[in-house]
């Protein structure tokens, strides 16, 4: 049996004072979804969120969307709203967990565990507060019965998270980039201090890459590439017309004035990527506050999905575009494929490699590479090794 | 993708647990968990494994482990 401890290993080969080449090896199980063949839609809804628990909400919702599309089932507006609420809450939680648990290490500080601790329980509480039967990932829709008390408490916790990251309202920067710079200059939160270290170290444009950003509707050739991917090479090393793409916060927030300005000034590098993550949290928080007022009960879909067809589920997961594709025959899965964001961003010729080849070596090279990996936000552990050639 | 392998707690020492999955053991911090855990409970570890992310119900853990065993046996890893 191969080992199950999957991860990404990055090796930087240094020669003549610069990074001559970069190898990215992934031992991630990119084709594990094949084994879903032969199972029913309801079984998929149970297995996927547990097997992919770390981004389980996005995985469960992508599965529901793909199965519904295949079976020709349209979820009600109430279901769509509740799902969007859970998805945005997971995005806030995953981004916040990265900032509070992982960013301190980049500043040689201990993780902010007390602040990170409520994040995952928050999401579990939201699922219980919306879908008391636990069927939030059911294709067609589970039984929605809103518990207002849970939601009020949840929104209070979300505000606490925002305060811990921003220490103030991030709303203003979205309109006024100059206020973002003032926050980076003076802010005392871990996020403000990491961005300040990047700017002060002259690293704002570090890791700049020419890799194009993922279009909002996904790769233009997605449909036929996935259909033809019998050996799994596409979902392991995806490209579009031979070129990898960058997915995630930067691709999604590139048109926000602050990010657009940072892109012009520094390119697709560290500062634009980290700032895009912060903007995404702010946008998601704003959306959560609107959505919470509109959530409503819904009986859900009676019985199991019985249709046949091919369906796609495209979901903006915290780390980028998550795609599920299912071939369904009378409610039973015949073929199941998953294309995850990390396969784009940590592609052997993707934005991480392009951002590191040619950069100057030096004692802090491994740290700079770890910064870039953190900015591209892998969903598994990522190790960095520097090898010197004479 | 971010496969999460439910790992069974075999020992607890303060804020750290020794967990086992598919015959391999490792240690993980319990500092991010919001509920008490005991030997025999199943945990999902966060990316990298340094911190346990959540406790999983035994039935869900059994189902996920059965699926992952099939994945490994099929050589689809």
Per residue in A149-159, pLDDT (tens digit) is: 999 999 999 99
Nearest chain A alpha carbon to B74: A35
Per-chain mean pLDDT for chain A: 93
- Inter-chain contact B53–A120, Cβ cutoff 8 Å? yes
With a threshold of 0.85, tell me whether the complex ipTM lies above it.
yes
Q: Render pLDDT for A176-230 as a digit per residue (tens, 0 to 9).
A: 788 899 999 999 999 999 999 999 999 999 999 999 999 999 999 999 999 999 9
For residues A248-266, average pLDDT: 96
Residues of chain B contacting A44 with CB distance shorter than 8 Å: none
Q: How far apart are CA A340 and CA B37, in angstroms?
A: 31
Q: How far apart are CA B25 and CA A27, in angstroms?
A: 19
For residues A317-321, average pLDDT: 97
Residues whose CB falls within 8 Å of the CB of residue B67, separated by 6 or more in sequence, listed in order: A35, A47, A51
For residues A302-319, average pLDDT: 94
Which of B26, B35, B47 to mutate against chain A (most A CBs within 10 Å)? B47
At residue A86 the predicted structure's pLDDT band, cuts being 50, 70 and 90, is very high
pLDDT beyond 50 at A2: no
- Domains within chain B, CATH numbers bracketed: 7-74 (2.30.30.140)
Of A51, A113, A342, the CB nearest to B64: A51
Beta bridge partners, B51, equal B29
Residue whose token pair is 């080449």: A21
A118 SS3 class: coil
Contact map slice: A 331-360 vs B, CB within 8 A: 338, 340, 342
Chain B contact for A118 (CB, 8 A cutoff)? yes
Residues of chain B contacting A313 with CB distance shorter than 8 Å: none
- Inter-chain contact B47–A35, Cβ cutoff 8 Å? no
Phi, psi of A57, deg, nearest 5 = -65, -50
pLDDT beyond 70 at B2: no
Phi, psi of A18, deg, nearest 5 = -145, 165
Contact map slice: B 15-54 vs A, CB within 8 A: 21-22, 24, 26, 31-34, 44, 46-49, 51, 53-54
């Amino acid at each position: 049996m191969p080992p199950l401890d999957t991860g990404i290993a990055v090796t930087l080969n240094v020669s003549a004072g610069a990074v001559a080449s970069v190898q990215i090896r992934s031992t991630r199980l990119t084709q594990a979804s094949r084994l879903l063949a032969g199972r029913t839609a309801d079984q998929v809804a149970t297995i996927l969120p547990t097997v992919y628990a770390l981004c389980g909400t996005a995985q469960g919702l992508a599965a529901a969307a793909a199965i519904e599309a295949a079976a020709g089932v349209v979820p009600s507006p109430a279901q769509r709203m509740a799902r969007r609420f859970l998805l945005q809450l997971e995005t806030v939680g995953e981004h916040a967990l990265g900032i509070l648990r992982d960013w301190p290490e980049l500043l040689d500080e201990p993780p902010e565990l007390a602040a990170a601790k409520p994040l995952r329980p928050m999401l579990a509480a939201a699922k219980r507060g919306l879908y008391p039967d636990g069927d939030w990932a059911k294709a067609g829709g589970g039984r929605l019965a809103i518990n207002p008390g849970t939601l009020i408490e949840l929104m209070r916790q979300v505000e606490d998270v925002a305060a811990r990251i921003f220490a103030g309202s991030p709303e203003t920067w979205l309109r006024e980039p100059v206020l973002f710079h003032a926050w980076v200059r003076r802010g005392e939160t871990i996020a403000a201090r990491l961005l300040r270290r990047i700017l002060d170290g002259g690293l704002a444009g570090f890791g700049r890459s020419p890799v194009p950003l993922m279009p909002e509707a996904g790769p233009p050739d997605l449909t036929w590439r996935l259909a033809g991917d019998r050996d799994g090479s596409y979902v392991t090393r995806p490209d579009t017309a031979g070129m990898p793409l960058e997915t995630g916060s930067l691709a999604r927030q590139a048109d926000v004035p602050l990010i657009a300005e940072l892109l012009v000034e520094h390119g697709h590098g560290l500062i634009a990527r980290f700032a895009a993550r912060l903007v995404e949290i702010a946008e998601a928080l704003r959306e959560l506050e609107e959505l919470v007022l509109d959530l409503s009960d819904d009986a859900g879909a009676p019985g199991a999905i019985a249709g046949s067809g091919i369906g796609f589920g495209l979901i903006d997961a915290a780390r980028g575009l998550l795609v599920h594709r299912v071939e369904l025959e009378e409610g039973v899965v015949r073929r199941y494929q998953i294309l995850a964001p990390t396969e784009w961003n940590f592609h052997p010729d993707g934005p991480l490699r392009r951002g590191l080849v040619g950069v100057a070596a030096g004692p802090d090279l491994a740290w700079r590479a770890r910064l870039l990996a953190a900015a591209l936000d892998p969903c598994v552990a990522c190790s960095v090794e520097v090898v010197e050639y004479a | 993708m971010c496969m999460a392998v439910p790992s069974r707690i075999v020992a607890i020492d303060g804020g750290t647990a020794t967990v086992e999955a598919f015959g391999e053991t490792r240690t993980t911090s319990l500092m991010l968990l919001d509920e008490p855990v005991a030997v025999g409970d199943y945990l999902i570890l966060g990316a990298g494994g340094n911190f346990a992310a959540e406790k999983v119900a035994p039935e869900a853990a059994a189902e996920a482990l059965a699926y992952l065993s099939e994945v490994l046996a099929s050589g689809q890893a």
